[in-house]
Structure 1
Amino acid sequence: MTQNSGLLERLPDRTGLDRIWSVLPDARLVGGSVRDLLAGVAVHDLDLATPEPPDDVQRRLEEAGIRVIPTGLAHGTVTALLDNAPYEITTLRRDEETDGRHAIVAWTQDWTEDAARRDFTINAMSLDRHDRLHDYFGGREDLQNHRVRFVGDASRRIAEDALRALRFFRFDARYGHCVPDREACQAVSEQLGLIGTLSAERVASELLRILSGPRLNETIGAMASVGLLQVLLPEPDQHALNRLLACEAPVSSLLRLFALCHRNSPELAGRLKLSNADGAKIDAWASAQPVLHPELSDDDLRRLRVLQDLDLLVERSWLLQARLVGAPDIAWGRFRERVQAMPQPAFPLTGKDAIAHGVQPGPGLGQWLKTGRDWWMAHGCLPDRSACLAYLARQK
């Protein structure tokens, strides 16, 4: 179905888009940009498709003085840069062969054929330079009805790329309403065996996007009901996640992942191949040290600031509040205010001070500093340089 839309008027600036259309007049906006223009939400990326083969696209753009980056020529994609803004332009494609992870594609000039290989009807629409909306599978109606459904046969779409099983729940959380599409859920349940063919990195990326999205309680529950959650994460603790959400903690996909998987936290980073930094955070969250409590004294808070990074302290406080209270809590809120307002203490002595006071380089120097630092921390991290030196002088 083709219809005039008035959608281009919603773009705050279409200068770059018009320049591309002056070179590639048959190109169209596709996918998320069209969906979000219809939904009335912010559009972040303007992706286009075009019937011309990628080499021809690159040549035309360069001849027009537009910088081009061949970001994915094997898949028919180049990126045009205009005023530092990227525009991905992909040649129309059809799938020749798929294995659940990768697809072998061929170029086509058939817009319907290209739309048919996309995942969901709301992502299969296109918009041409005349502001005409091309909707081959009822995406506009589905968007209006808050319904996310696969293009064509849901089971086949998942067989083409198993990651679509996760993507379905991410898009349903944002654009759906209440009850996920029955055919889609059935297809996900039937194709759970394909999840194991996906790389851990792809799974982690999609899962973290789900965990940072809206309607998370409903989404995680729906994923569990079809068996997907249990395949992704052994022994997920939905109750612990719900308690964290009930505390109204700031959105953090990694913190939510930890709450959901705290029973298996030692294996979590390796299972999903998370970064070393994320793995270190998970290890810190799993530790009971240093001890946190909302009624700690100012001296204790200063010691905490020395022993652990401020962000980790705040994140651990949310996890403890979720476990111990499971609801908004004035005491834990006040704890965070106090610890965040506390200036970062710094031990006032260095190795130069030790040498200046006759301590020889070597193990003795380290012990001298440790003795002073232990005394400084025992006194609430308040003694200044002179007081610390005076204490150490008395230990000789």
Structure 2
Amino acid sequence: MRIAGDWLEATATREVMAALAADGGKARFVGGCVRNALLGAEVDDIDIATPLTPDAVMARAEAAGIKSVPTGIDHGTVTLVSHGRPFEVTTLRRDVETHGRHATVAYTDDWAEDAARRDFTMNALYAEADGTLVDPLGGLEDALAGRVRFVGDPHARIGEDFLRILRFFRFHAWYGKGALDAEGLGACAAHVEGLGRISAERIGKETMKLMAARDPRTAVEGMAETGVLAQILPDAREVEAMARVVTVEIALDYNPGPMRRLVALTAGRTGRLKDSLRLSNRQAGHLDDIRTLVPRIDPHMGEAEARAEIYRAGRVVWRDAVVAGWALSGADAGDGRWQALAGLTAWEPPAFPLNGRDLADLGAAQGPALGKLLKRLEADWIAGGFAEDRAGLLAHARRLIEAEGGLRASGPRAAGS
């Protein structure tokens, strides 16, 4: 059996594989690129395994005029860059000692040893340069069946790196079908406390990848049942609400929304998520914007009120808050009132026609009062349904300035002012 794909036939790929095959060298594609090609999913990263040592890999790359970067040299990984595309090339390895967070490894020329140290059978798939599949552990059958199964003894695999607990659920969310593998699920439950030894950065990265899957409902339910969810996110108790977010997303054909899912999962108790998941400032800000807006959304609110919220929060935050609020309300995906609110996401808020310079030109005194006046004018404009045009707003501003005595005695732009 052979895999196929544009990436496999690309000039960059062919050049890298040819360079590694020089002088009797051997190299195979491995892991995600093989699995995804097999399943018809997008291939982003191309990983290559080889018995060649990192020094030999770099020597062959130099001879072929291919750039090499020792990105993970301590782990046997060299990144080759051909025609602007990176290829991670890693020497075959076997575990010498494992520590629950990382492993001490040694190089090997035994493909079976390399396969045996991988996490799941669907990730222990290899392919020759021409796409011919090499399946030492039955990963083909598991991948096609949507069965995420640990390589060998699940307890041993998890003991090597406790992050594999989260990877088990993440891979099921992305590639699994039906129920979670029972043996793997039991092993995750038995070792859940081991996640306490894993850094927040690693946990956050895996969790956010899981939350970005099209349908992570079964995976998250499994995490809750095994105690994994409580271990990594103590405030994540509303599994049914998060499941309703996914149901609404599918019904509306929305892309997955990790942040709105987290808001629903925690019922808005998002305060600890930035630290526990090591969210970026941008991610944390978006999460907080959704959390703040959700309580202000009412399925009975009028269109004018809704548009005012969209103007203030932005369409992206509005969309995410509507879906999160919808899910937390318990309403089903066919609720017409919530559908109408979601539909307002298509409305493009207008830009406020005035700025501080406009008010200064009318004679408003510089300083904090000018900013307050501008905010008042904007609030009046919003309350009026955004109907007032620039000319009308300027007239309104002039009246307010005159009424408050803010107009200069000699008028705007008076000499000597």
TM-score (norm 2): 0.85
Find out whether 1:371 has 2:376 as its counterpart.
Answer: yes
Equivalent residue runs for 1:187-198 within 5 Å: 187-198=187-198
Quick one: structure 1 residues 392 and 69, their matched pair in 2 at CA, closer, same or farther if it must change by over 3 Å? same
**Quick check: 2:100–2:162 contact (8 Å CA) kept in 1?**
yes
The one-letter code of the counterpart of 1:15 is T
**Quick check: 1:246–1:328 contact (8 Å CA) kept in 2?**
no
Equivalent residue runs for 1:41-120 within 5 Å: 41-120=41-120
Find out whether 1:243 has 2:244 as its counterpart.
Answer: yes
Q: CA deviation at 1:48?
A: 0.7
Give me the whole-angstrom Cα distance separating, in 2, the residues matched to 1:147 and 1:371.
59
Q: CA deviation at 1:202?
A: 1.4
SS at match of 2:266: helix
Give me the whole-angstrom Cα distance separating, in 1, the residues matched to 2:40 and 2:339.
35
**Quick check: 1:244–1:326 contact (8 Å CA) kept in 2?**
no
Q: CA deviation at 1:8?
A: 5.2
Question: How many residues are treated as equivalent by the alignment?
Answer: 391
Q: CA deviation at 1:158?
A: 0.8
Q: CA deviation at 1:390?
A: 2.5
Q: CA deviation at 1:27?
A: 0.7
SS at match of 2:269: helix
Aligned to 1:351: 356
Range that drifts further, 148-157 or 17-26:
17-26
Q: 2:283 aligns with which of 274, 278, 286?
A: 278
The one-letter code of the counterpart of 1:254 is M
Find out whether 1:260 has 2:261 as its counterpart.
Answer: no
**Gapped runs of 5+ residues in structure 1?**
none
Query: Identity across aligned pairs (percent)?
Result: 38
Quick one: structure 1 residues 392 and 142, their matched pair in 2 at CA, closer, same or farther if it must change by over 3 Å? closer
Quick one: structure 1 residues 45 and 374, their matched pair in 2 at CA, closer, same or farther if it must change by over 3 Å? closer
Range that drifts further, 48-57 or 317-326:
317-326
Give me the whole-angstrom Cα distance separating, in 2, the residues matched to 1:13 and 1:303.
52
Q: Please list the CA deviations of residues 212-269 of structure 1 after superposition, one character each: whole Å capped at 9, or x if unmatched.
A: 2244222222222222122122142112112222323521122112211125322222
Give me the whole-angstrom Cα distance separating, in 1, the residues matched to 2:126 and 2:350.
57
Quick one: structure 1 residues 292 and 129, their matched pair in 2 at CA, closer, same or farther if it must change by over 3 Å? closer
Quick one: structure 1 residues 356 and 109, their matched pair in 2 at CA, closer, same or farther if it must change by over 3 Å? same
Quick one: structure 1 residues 131 and 389, their matched pair in 2 at CA, closer, same or farther if it must change by over 3 Å? closer
Equivalent residue runs for 1:1-396 within 5 Å: 5-7=1-3, 13-25=9-21, 26-129=26-129, 132-235=132-235, 236-248=237-249, 250=254, 251-262=256-267, 264-288=269-293, 291-294=296-299, 296-297=301-302, 299-324=304-329, 325-341=331-347, 343-395=348-400, 396=403
Q: CA deviation at 1:207?
A: 1.5
**Quick check: 1:247–1:329 contact (8 Å CA) kept in 2?**
no
Quick one: structure 1 residues 121 and 377, their matched pair in 2 at CA, closer, same or farther if it must change by over 3 Å? closer
Q: CA deviation at 1:334?
A: 2.7
Q: CA deviation at 1:130?
A: 6.0
**Quick check: 1:290–1:307 contact (8 Å CA) kept in 2?**
no
Quick one: structure 1 residues 259 and 364, their matched pair in 2 at CA, closer, same or farther if it must change by over 3 Å? closer
Q: CA deviation at 1:164?
A: 0.6
Give me the whole-angstrom Cα distance separating, in 2, the residues matched to 1:50 and 1:153.
25
Range that drifts further, 58-67 or 35-44:
35-44
**Quick check: 1:32–1:123 contact (8 Å CA) kept in 2?**
yes
The one-letter code of the counterpart of 2:309 is L
Quick one: structure 1 residues 313 and 10, their matched pair in 2 at CA, closer, same or farther if it must change by over 3 Å? closer
Give me the whole-angstrom Cα distance separating, in 1, the residues matched to 2:221 and 2:209.
16
**Gapped runs of 5+ residues in structure 2?**
404-417
Q: Please list the CA deviations of residues 314-366 of structure 1 after superposition, one character each: whole Å capped at 9, or x if unmatched.
A: 1111122223323233333333333522x423333322222222222223322
Give me the whole-angstrom Cα distance separating, in 2, the residues matched to 1:377 and 1:176.
48
- Superposition CA RMSD, Å: 2.5
SS at match of 1:94: strand
The one-letter code of the counterpart of 2:370 is L
The one-letter code of the counterpart of 2:337 is A
Q: CA deviation at 1:288?
A: 4.6
**Quick check: 1:305–1:344 contact (8 Å CA) kept in 2?**
yes
Give me the whole-angstrom Cα distance separating, in 2, the residues matched to 1:225 and 1:290.
29
Q: CA deviation at 1:115?
A: 1.2
